[in-house]
Structure 1
């Protein structure tokens, strides 16, 4: 799928790549929750985070917003699992009927983490999965 970026998101990606030396393939600016979520090229997550989280901390200071990272994946199943991280996701199944739905099997004790405060984590996972793999919904099992 083709992801369309706003000018603001492109500026954030440029700042991210300068600060981390990692590649961002997408950026979602969440003004409601004052955060920026970057989708990091697969295999570059540790470079993006930096030793002890120093890159993320520096970027948060530079941008004046919370920064969250999601690692890209070649499949919808892998992407959904990464988007729900740090929750323990055991399995993701994609069902394609009228809508494309990802069913994510999440550890019982991590359901709250997957959902997030006021649904912030699962809503962002849904947004990213829609942008990258045309997944209409994510359901936790």
Structure 2
């Protein structure tokens, strides 16, 4: 087992997350890989295969809107990858990420620096930092990343 594999956290899905995953699967037929409840931003983030994002959202966003009404939370669909660079790009979409660098600080803190197209910086950060918070949540869950910095 490589050092990187040993350092990857074990993702534990709570019963509530599992119920939400089942709900999205039954509604769309999409294989839902993970679900993160972000109470701070009143949202549920679903991770699906990148090729199934459109199917999960539904025509004109119908499935996202249906779940939003049912659960009274914002719904976000993000592509999943077990590659840190790809997951960073999916988590910051629709911002166009040009480069992803990972740095480790003394004490073991890990930081991701994501360089985006100059016109996409505001999109990557999001209103009140919501999009960068989504990236940090997901990258922490899968890769123990403590901070995400948009450049």
- Do the structures match in fold with TM over 0.5? yes
Q: Which residues of structure 1 form unaligned runs of 5+? A: none
Q: How far apart are residue 43 of structure 1 and its match?
A: 2.2
Match of 1:89 among 94, 97, 116: 97
Specify the alignment match of 1:117 in structure 2: 127
Q: Aligned equivalents of 2:29 and 2:143: distance in 1?
A: 26
1:58 equivalent to 2:79? Answer no
Q: Aligned equivalents of 1:126 and 1:17: distance in 2?
A: 25
1:21 equivalent to 2:21? Answer no
Q: How many residue pairs align between the two structures?
A: 141
**In the TM superposition, what whole-angstrom CA distance separates every residue of 1:69-117 from its partner, at most 9, and x where no partner exists?**
1100131000011101111111212234533222111122211111112
Give the structure with higher Rg (CA).
2
1:133 equivalent to 2:143? Answer yes
Secondary structure, aligned partner of 1:22:
coil
Match of 1:100 among 91, 110, 134: 110
Give the CA RMSD over aligned residues.
1.6
Q: Aligned equivalents of 2:66 and 2:76: distance in 1?
A: 13
Q: Of Structure 1 and Structure 2, which has the larger fraction of its residues in helix?
A: 2
Secondary structure, aligned partner of 1:43:
helix
Q: How far apart are residue 2 of structure 1 and its match?
A: 2.2
Q: Aligned equivalents of 2:82 and 2:11: distance in 1?
A: 15
Secondary structure, aligned partner of 1:32:
helix
Secondary structure, aligned partner of 2:44:
strand
Does the C-alpha gap of structure 1 residues 38 and 16 become closer, same or farther in structure 2, counting only changes over 3 Å? same
Q: Aligned equivalents of 1:73 and 1:39: distance in 2?
A: 9
Q: How far apart are residue 53 of structure 1 and its match?
A: 1.6
Q: How far apart are residue 61 of structure 1 and its match?
A: 2.0
